Amino acid sequence: MARKLKLTKSDRLYKEACQLIPGGVLGIRRPYNFVPGEYPIFFESGKGGRVIDVDGNEYIDMLCAYGPIIIGHREEEIDEAVIEQIRNKGFCFSLTQRTQNALAKKMRELIPCAEQSLFVKTGSDAATAAIRIARAYTSRSKVARCGYHGWHDWCVEVKAGIPQKLYEDVYEFHYNDLTSLEAIMSQHGSETAAIIITPIGHPLSAKVEEPKDGFLEGVKEIAERYGAVLIFDEIRSGFRVSLGGAQELYNVIPDLSLFGKAMGNGYPISAVVGKAEIMDVARDKVFISSTFFPNSLGQIAALKTIEIMERDKILTKVREKGSKFCVAVEEIVSASGIPCEFSGAPLMPFITFIKDKEQHYKELRNQFYTELIRRGLFLQPYHHGYIAYRHTDEDLKQATAAIADALAAIKNESIKQANHNSSSYRS
């Protein structure tokens, strides 16, 4: 096995943080979401497609901050545009700056459903705003959902601290399963305000799925039949699978859509976009406001990110990189003899382990991701990865080698264990 990383400073900072912050760090960044004792807890810096932790260990970053890094860390052209705004104009005012209009025009130009836009800061903000808009537009309360939609009361999976009445009107259906949606709508369709779905399926710790033929079209037909607002949650797929999102890629146009993550290459910004007739309820019927929503820095970053992506054909090049990488990884996984699966090619790669009754898959998963981090590849056991533009050919070559070596190490360990058990039995 590869050698364990030195994580002395990271561990010390975490112990200090636990005295200062509940859990030390927030949510999905806590150690139990990785492999405790093997992964760093604090990063120091990043550049391009790589990051360095506080102990000086360097990694190829294929988690990409959980998705926002589409071009690369510390992308100079984007950072300089933001710095220029700070130095020459400022960014936090009692009124809105003109960058709002420029970004809204660009969103309308690129995204099929984006007749109007509403800019917020996070994916959770956008999802909750869209649900509020849909409920106001339809004068209905129930919601059918499929996918992860953030940490707010109506959809968060961990229910502690949330009264049941705040989520009792929300019903979950399964990706690529129209029957499960039909069952909800046949019972609650006349009261359903919205159907919200991630157009590409990416459930926690399970393989990434593309829509089966007719699935998204079927979801749209059901929404139209019952008069529900169709919302595509494109927080991950938007500005990554296409500048117009998965709706452009699959040619299924929703009523509303959520964009974020890759939209600003790491700067905090997200958006609800959609048909003007529906969005218009946010004019005076629905209240959506924050001191920081109009802050122009995220808008500046988004405009520059989109400009670079269009000018340099970033997504075409990212797809080319990802396709080459994923073909190699698929071959490695198939030949490994380990019960695991590869999905998400070419843009959101993920290696998951096939569940078994004895739950050996959990041990295999921990072994695999331990081997990866020790070999300098930063991925997450429960979340798919990403390909960024600044991942070099050498980065992806090293990542491929790390995956091959990690699977080989697991196989060798399994053979040793089997031989040991056989020897013990004979004794």
Q: Report pLDDT digits (tens) over 346-374.
A: 999 999 999 999 999 999 999 999 999 99
Please state the pTM of the whole predicted model: 0.96
Cβ 152 vs Cβ 203: under 8 Å: no
CA distance 343 to 210: 9
pLDDT digits (tens, 9 = 90+) for 129-156: 999 999 999 999 999 999 999 999 999 9
CA distance 348 to 346: 6
Evaluate if residue 200 carries a pLDDT over 90: yes
Widest pairwise Cα distance in the chain: 81
Within this chain, do residues 82 and 37 fall inside the same structural domain, yes or no? no
Confidence of residue 238 (pLDDT cuts 50, 70, 90): very high
The last residue of a domain, from among 251, 281, 311: 311
Give the range of the structural domain holding residue 185, as residue numbers without chain letter: 76-311
Count CB neighbours of 105 within 10 A: 13
Overall average pLDDT of the 409-413 stretch: 90
Within this chain, do residues 24 and 165 fall inside the same structural domain, yes or no? no
Confidence of residue 426 (pLDDT cuts 50, 70, 90): low
CA distance 343 to 346: 9
Structural domain includes residue 424: no
Structural domain includes residue 363: yes
Structural domain includes residue 425: no
Within this chain, do residues 373 and 318 fall inside the same structural domain, yes or no? yes
Positive or negative, the CA dihedral 90, 91, 92, 94 is positive
CA distance 270 to 96: 16
Question: If residue 196 lies in a helix (H) or strand (E), which one and from where to where?
Answer: strand 192-197
Structural domain includes residue 182: yes
Structural domain includes residue 1: no
Confidence of residue 158 (pLDDT cuts 50, 70, 90): very high
Overall average pLDDT of the 110-128 stretch: 98
- Number of domains within the chain: 2
Structural domain includes residue 167: yes
Residue 95, amino acid: L
pLDDT digits (tens, 9 = 90+) for 37-74: 999 999 999 999 999 999 999 999 999 999 999 999 99
Within this chain, do residues 129 and 249 fall inside the same structural domain, yes or no? yes
List beta partners, residue 53.
Answer: 43
User: Mean pLDDT score of the chain, rounded to an integer?
Assistant: 96
Least confident residue range of 110-119, 144-153, 274-283, 410-419: 410-419
CATH number of the domain to which 266 belongs: 3.40.640.10
Within this chain, do residues 239 and 105 fall inside the same structural domain, yes or no? yes
Evaluate if residue 36 carries a pLDDT over 80: yes
Within this chain, do residues 64 and 96 fall inside the same structural domain, yes or no? no
CATH number of the domain to which 371 belongs: 3.90.1150.10
DSSP string of 328-384, one letter each residue: HHHHHHHHH-SSEEEESTTTS-EEEE---TT-HHHHHHHHHHHHHHHTTEE-BTTB-
Within this chain, do residues 279 and 406 fall inside the same structural domain, yes or no? no
Evaluate if residue 423 carries a pLDDT over 70: no
Within this chain, do residues 222 and 169 fall inside the same structural domain, yes or no? yes
Within this chain, do residues 204 and 320 fall inside the same structural domain, yes or no? no
Within this chain, do residues 87 and 154 fall inside the same structural domain, yes or no? yes
Within this chain, do residues 140 and 270 fall inside the same structural domain, yes or no? yes
Query: In whole angstroms, how far apart are CA 350 and each of 175, 180, 206?
Result: 17, 26, 9
Rounded to 5°, angle at Cα 122 from 116 and 128: 65
Q: Tell me, what's the pLDDT at 419?
A: 61
> Which residues have a Cβ under 8 Å from the Cβ of 150 and sit 6 or more positions away?
122, 123, 124, 125, 127, 128, 156
Within this chain, do residues 269 and 319 fall inside the same structural domain, yes or no? no
Q: Tell me, what's the pLDDT at 413?
A: 81
The last residue of a domain, from among 311, 330, 365: 311
